[in-house]
């Protein structure tokens, strides 16, 4: 098998610490698998002494499968698995753990739900809140952070500490560990029992870690313990593709590795076999603006290929039409839809394109769950107002909006499955000030009945006072008002093409049903254009890629405030660009939700000379 010079160097590395920097499309897996084969066949290392750590079970299975194909030996006893899988195996051996000792996700959320109900907290979307709190608890454990110094993004410091301590108390009383504890408990076991650590060090004399840029502190600390005393620690990753800081990954550990192992060999796999010369050159123009990175030369094997195309459009709706046109042309030219992808920063960026693809009957599939904007509480409020405007009088619609904005209408005034304004007036017949409010409510509903959805939403926001309700809601629930306003603006935009309330409701129903169908089909191998976030695209490759909504506030995302966060956003953009083999288009809109938008600074970097 023919390797380039750097691949060959990486394959024949035998002992001591080594860091392999593997650029996009550089033949990383091929190199890693051949290095394992080299250890077994050329260096007479026993397969049982080799540990391969990956970040997904799929990657571990793929590694073992390719190793079996390469060596012709199906059941080589090389240990390959995820960090959690490996560390759980050690705990099973040491503590006789079994599945009964593992806290399921369902049990974890039951405990958190119970703990939070005992706190004086106002929570609107419970599922989102629980998920975010669970992630923050995981971040503390994975990075061994002091609880007293941790700043929660969801609640004040005192409330978070109370939640964390109560959760840990309940978990321990059940004699169970959660997913994150597998790492922490393994660390504590090795710290307190050097005899046990020595046994595992003797077993795993050669350790290889894939996707090293995604490692967190506790994973790193345990793997360093395991590697002693021989330090045959071989780590493979790419600092330019470190995009999981929000999950607790610490890209700084890529640099710390060389401080902890000053004698480590560093090998750069810089030859890109995936993308054309123009794609490689332009992706480097962007990523080279990051200050915190290893400098490396990356070159393409393929020729220059098509020029990278940057497309300016007027709005996300125009962008959706443009991309749909391009996809139709591309597929019409005999190319496979499955080899095309549209990438975006956050899920809501995809809505206009999804609606356009549905309209044109272009098949598509989604790798992840795409949240339905029409399921958001704001969308439900708007829909309730418009159902009332359409003459429907269901109790649930009254309850949804009767105090949005505040009208001081009590639930006890709403009786029966169907309600009328007259019934509410009768209930408050002795309160003139309430009758005025009810009259105004009814008048507003009558006004909405005469309007197209776009005008109706504006009327709800400005004349009825829904924007004021959102301002107060954001303040009392400690959420970003701008995020809620963005949902409102998205709903306005989506309603623009519809001339009647009924037409908008039909559109919502069709969109919702399509998403539901796609969700059910996700596990199956479906046909169609691939739609996914930039995060989900990592590790994948396509012939043609459209990277959409490349505007300031979208990518880099508006919540990226620090230089460190902006550099991670730039790495994310770089990951998106380097998914393309032959054709790459970057799109940005001049307006979004009726407001002027600026092209992303990453687009500006692309357009620089040189």
Q: Binding site for ATP: which residues?
A: 22-29
Q: Which two tokens stand for residue 506?
A: 């039909």
Task: Annotate 97-122 with three-state secondary structure.
Answer: CCHHHECCHHHHHHHHHHHHHCCCCC
Kindly give the pairing relationship between strand 591-592 and strand 595-596: antiparallel
User: Please, are residues 318 and 588 in contact by the beta-carbon 8 Å criterion?
Assistant: no
Helices marked H in 265-376: 277-287, 316-332, 351-360
DSSP state of 599: B
d(CA 437, CA 51): 71
- Half-sphere exposure for 211 (CA within 13 Å, toward CB): 20
Q: What angle do CA 17, 18, 19 make, to 5 degrees?
A: 135
Helix (H, G, I), strand (E, B) or coil at 52: strand
User: Please, are residues 133 and 153 in contact by the beta-carbon 8 Å criterion?
Assistant: no
Q: Is 278 exposed, middle or buried (0-12, 13-18, 19+ CB in 10 A)?
A: buried
- Known binding residues are 22-29
* Residue 377, number of CB atoms within 10 A of its CB: 14
Q: Quick one: which H or E segment has residue 569?
A: helix 563-577
The secondary structure of 122-189 as a DSSP string is --SSHHHHHHHHHHHHHHHHHTT--GGG---SSS-HHHHHHHHHHHHHHHHHTT-B-TTHHHHHHHHH
* Region class of 25: left (phi > 0), else alpha (psi between -120 and 50), else beta: left
d(CA 448, CA 457): 9
d(CA 517, CA 119): 38
Kindly give the pairing relationship between strand 542-547 and strand 580-589: parallel
Q: Quick one: which H or E segment has residue 434?
A: helix 432-449
Phi then psi for residue 177, to 5 deg, are -120, 150
Q: Is the peptide bond before 299 cis (omega within 30 degrees of 0)?
A: no
Q: CB neighbours of 31 closer than 8 A, spacing ≥ 6? A: 3, 7, 10, 11, 20, 22, 236, 269
Direct distance between the N- and C-terminal alpha carbons of the chain, in angstroms, rounded to an integer: 36
């Amino acid at each position: 098998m023919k390797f380039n010079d750097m691949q060959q160097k990486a394959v024949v590395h035998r002992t001591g610490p080594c860091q392999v920097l593997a650029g996009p499309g550089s033949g990383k897996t091929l190199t890693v698998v051949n290095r394992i084969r080299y250890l077994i066949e050329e260096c007479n290392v026993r397969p049982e002494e080799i540990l391969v750590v990956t970040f997904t079970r799929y990657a571990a299975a793929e590694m073992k499968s390719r190793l079996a194909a390469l060596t012709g030996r199906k059941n080589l006893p090389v240990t390959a698995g995820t960090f959690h899988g490996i560390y759980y195996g050690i705990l099973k051996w040491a503590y006789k753990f079994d599945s009964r000792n593992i806290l399921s996700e369902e049990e974890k959320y039951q405990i958190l739900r119970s703990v939070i109900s005992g706190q004086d907290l106002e929570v609107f979307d419970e599922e989102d809140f629980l998920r975010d709190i669970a992630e923050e608890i995981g971040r503390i454990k994975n990075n061994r952070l002091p609880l007293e110094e941790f700043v929660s993004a969801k609640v004040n410091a005192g409330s978070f500490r109370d939640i964390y301590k109560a959760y840990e108390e309940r978990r321990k009383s059940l004699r169970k560990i959660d997913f994150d504890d597998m790492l922490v408990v393994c660390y504590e076991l090795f710290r307190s029992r050097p005899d046990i650590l020595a046994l595992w060090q003797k077993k795993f004399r050669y350790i290889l870690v894939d996707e090293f840029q995604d490692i967190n502190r506790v994973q790193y600390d345990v793997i360093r313990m395991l590697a002693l005393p021989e330090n045959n620690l071989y780590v493979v990753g790419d600092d330019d593709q470190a995009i999981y800081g929000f999950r607790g990954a610490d890209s700084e550990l890529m640099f710390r590795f060389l401080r902890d192992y000053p004698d480590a060999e560093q090998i750069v796999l810089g030859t890109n076999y995936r993308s054309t010369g123009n794609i490689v050159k332009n992706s480097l123009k962007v990523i080279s603006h990051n200050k915190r990175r290893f400098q490396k030369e990356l070159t393409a094997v393929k020729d220059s290929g098509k020029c990278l195309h940057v497309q300016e459009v007027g709005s996300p709706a125009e962008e959706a039409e443009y991309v749909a046109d391009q996809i139709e042309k591309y597929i019409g030219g005999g190319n496979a839809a499955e080899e095309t992808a549209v990438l975006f920063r956050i899920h809501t960026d995809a809505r206009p394109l999804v609606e356009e693809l549905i309209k044109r009957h272009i098949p598509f599939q989604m790798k992840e769950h795409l949240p339905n904007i029409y399921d958001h509480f704001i969308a439900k409020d708007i829909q309730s107002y418009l159902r009332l405007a359409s003459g429907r009088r269901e109790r649930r619609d009254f309850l949804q909006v009767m105090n949005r904005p505040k009208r001081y209408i009590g639930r006890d005034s709403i009786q029966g499955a169907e309600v009328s304004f007259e019934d509410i007036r009768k209930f408050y017949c002795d309160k003139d000030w309430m009758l005025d409010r009810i009259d105004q409510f009814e008048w507003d509903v009558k006004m909405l009945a005469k309007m197209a959805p776009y005008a109706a939403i504006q009327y709800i926001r400005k004349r009825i006072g829904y924007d004021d309700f959102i301002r107060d809601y954001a303040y009392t629930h400690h959420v970003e008002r701008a995020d809620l306003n963005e949902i409102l603006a998205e709903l306005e935009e989506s309603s623009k093409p519809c001339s009647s309330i009924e037409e908008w409701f039909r559109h919502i129903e069709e969109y919702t049903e399509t998403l539901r169908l796609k969700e059910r089909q996700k596990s199956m191998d479906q046909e169609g254009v691939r739609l996914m976030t930039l995060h989900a695209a990592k590790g994948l490759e396509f012939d043609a890629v459209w990277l959409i909504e490349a505007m300031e506030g979208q990518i880099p995302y508006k919540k990226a405030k620090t230089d460190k966060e902006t550099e991670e956003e730039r790495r994310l953009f770089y990951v998106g660009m380097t998914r393309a083999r032959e054709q790459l288009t970057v799109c940005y809109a001049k307006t979004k939700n009726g407001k002027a938008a600026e092209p992303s600074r990453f687009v500006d970097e692309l357009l620089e000379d040189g």
